[in-house]
Structure 1
């Protein structure tokens, strides 16, 4: 069973891969070079190349390590005597391991962009098998759930467990683990509304931006491409071609790619602020205000899934001034949520509520990106409401 203490890797290659992953998460994959990694470890670039041929191999090794440990955590409850104890042991081990690897656990949100299809298939196999095991463990506890619903609950649960890696809020290790486990306990017991009878996978229309003005069309296509490929893999020519505009004409609307990325973040921050204000206006009680905020946030995130994905994965590529503006906007948004939750759940610590808020926001972001017949706005909101202290909808 994985230890609750930060494990010092015995394998030199594992050490290098984890240090590289920490740098990738802190600065962005393309903003880190082999020499940066070597300097952080205290070796030469030549010495590092003796272990790994390139950055992609370093990333693959880090993903493999996380997948292997994830599977070990899930297996850690196998010998517990009852189904609830087996499920709890697996989830508790995952929470502890995520806290051990808080600096690298958010790899799951963007690693696939930089690995080829064959690598992804091999590296994600242990993870996928472990997720299926978690689903079966939940079904052993709640045999009345459908496999589809169990899969959705497990997806949301894993988003909560991974959420400490997506923010910088501070909380003692013991309180952080307890807060996350409390959220997990609520999620694994939640009753989901039935999916729509005609639920089907959502398919984007290829012409959905055709009637937008040029400037808006460029921004929309840039967001889509940044999400699909990653910021550094997209050129101004790619964006212009997708928007049906000559590359040279792009510069009459935006100074360059960095300005497009900054515009995407300003757009996201502005929409979140406007949505929050609209949701809270005229609310009669904190509980009603929080319920409206949940519904509004789920709606805008699902409607703008590409923008939400870029928002959480490309901030390291923003110019410094825009990054400062983004972080200030993020703090204000989280403060709004935390303030409402504090009124709905009086007596709980502000730091714990902040961790809970980030967990809820991460569920929405991850499920919006997942898409699929069982992942609907109503079902996503139904996962958040009891976790944040609201009653389920009648």
Structure 2
């Protein structure tokens, strides 16, 4: 019996490590890519990459309709109907990508770049579906190994030819990397996937996940509107530097979320007592995690990227990450209570706050001004959710 329990603990531990490893890999691969392009005479490629990803991000919030959050929730609720759900999700992604493709045609980009963006958009749109299945079927270990191999080869090629790369060639390599990942996911999860495509099914899934889509789009804007405003008010070079800072923040958030995601399907089934115990535990963990993340942020920005960050910016970064850890749990709480509409309304308020503050202070304070606006948005988001819970929902969980 003891051996059986030990094996179960070890299995869960390896699963958690694999999930965190995937989060780390995604984040650090992006940071290392930024570093290679910044330090090895590829600033033109970096600026093109930042612009490409920024434009892509605007369309991705549409094609990521519902997102991984919705996918995991639906799979955990109806595991016997996973194939039907997956076919509906894929159908909806195809419709959304085609719609976005029509808009992309009118963007002032070279036609070959537009084609690459549409391909990249489709591949990335499938990722949340794969991720939900990977988490639910506990396939993180083998996926982590495969992704590590793919990313290592990609970064090695970029490093070897960084000084001779042209922007379009770089984008081609980026598409190839994403294609290889998608083929691997399909091969691994083939038995779970159905291509019984249907317009009617896609319409139903889009309606059902509408509030999750609202959360995705407002969440993206709440976290990225400061980046776009820097691009509007300042210049592309400053935007590239802030993109690196924003990426470091995202890495910290991805790592934290990866730890929690390991048990995500179970969280929605917790009784009120277990749910409250988890909340207390994660508050302490959030503080510890934020301290470690802030130390890493300070060292990486100052000594790796050579971006001068002082103690004021570091304290602001700590506040941002800590608030995110608290907010992350509130999102689980409200999702468990089926209160996505409330989250959506509060997120919209946060977007407005971030946007207004950004326009007011970015020209004067530059990078720290943008990050302050972002942090204030997260702060108000958390305060509003807590107040609503205390006043209205406290009897429900």
Q: TM-score, normalised by structure 2?
A: 0.32
Identify which of structures 1 and 2 has the higher relative contact order when contacts are C-alpha pairs closer than 8 Å and 6+ apart. 2
